[in-house]
Amino acid sequence: MADLIDKTANYVLDLASPQRLNILFKLLSKDSTPTEIAKELESTKQEVHRNFIRLEESGLIEKKNNGKYSTTTFGETVCTQVPTIVFFSQNRKYFEEHTFIDIPYKFKIRCGQLAVSQHVKGISKVLEQWKTIYKNSREYIYEILSEAPLDLIEPLVKQIKKGIKFQYIFSESTVVPKGRKDLLKKLGFSNLIEKGLIERKMAKNVQTVIVLNEKEACVLFPKNDGESDLTEMFYSDDPMFHEWCLDYFRFCWYGSDEFIESKLKE
């Protein structure tokens, strides 16, 4: 085990260089020579050549018969893990106060998919972006909720009445705002459920909040104490970001129970 840890530490050192990482990702896109890469990076041939040698010795790249270099299978795999480090390093301050505690391991190792995203901060900005996701929907709106902001109900129902499919998961501990029942009745929420436009389920405890349509998504991670936080979120229309959120929603959907309205408290 000690030997394995030493080897892994050496690989980390090999990647601890902006230029070596740049070389690795450029070779991931296309085979190149050190001279070609040096021109692209506006660096000296000698420096780039040294970094090529180091990456080759680590097994991350290899030289082809035509004299050009390409990433190895190992190098390609390492590249898939770098976005995870990027995501956490870019948002290190955020994750000092927030946690992945309720996220299954299989989604934690994929969190590099969240790297291409916008950090939205402030409750008003969060809710406006949330409404925009509703407005832009053409096929569906999926949500995992720990709270039910009253201001979002009318914009949501407006889209559902256009034929947009709505699926959502509430936490058993969800506290709904006063006036919600009357508003839902006024907007004909029950009729939309009967028409099959709305499907709902209930989870024991929801901490991570997800909102998405068919093209864009947002995720809101809980505070370190486990409480949901609607004041900050990550938003993106990047396909990889969307895939992570969609897969997480589906995972939670199939693991949730029957919706019981009487469990909700005002």
C-alpha gyration radius of the chain: 23
pLDDT at 9 over 70: no
| Strands laid side by side in the 257-258 sheet | 118-121, 232-236, 217-220, 209-212, 140-147, 165-175, 198-203, 257-258
- Tens of pLDDT along 160-218? 999 999 999 998 887 788 888 899 999 999 999 999 999 999 998 889 999 999 999 99
Burial (0-12, 13-18, 19+ Cβ within 10 Å), 167:
middle
> What pLDDT score was predicted for residue 5?
47
Confidence of residue 157 (pLDDT cuts 50, 70, 90): very high
Task: Name the pLDDT band for 15 (thresholds 50, 70, 90).
Answer: low
Could you give the C-alpha distances from 68 to 61, 72, 73, 183, 186, in angstroms and in order?
10, 13, 16, 66, 68
Helix (H/G/I), strand (E/B), else coil: 96: helix
- Of 81-85, 164-168, 189-193, 230-234, the one with minimum mean pLDDT is 81-85
- Report whether 217 contacts 211 (CB < 8 A): yes
H/E stretch holding 218: strand 217-220
pLDDT in tens, 103-154: 999 999 899 899 999 999 999 999 999 999 999 999 999 999 988 888 899 9
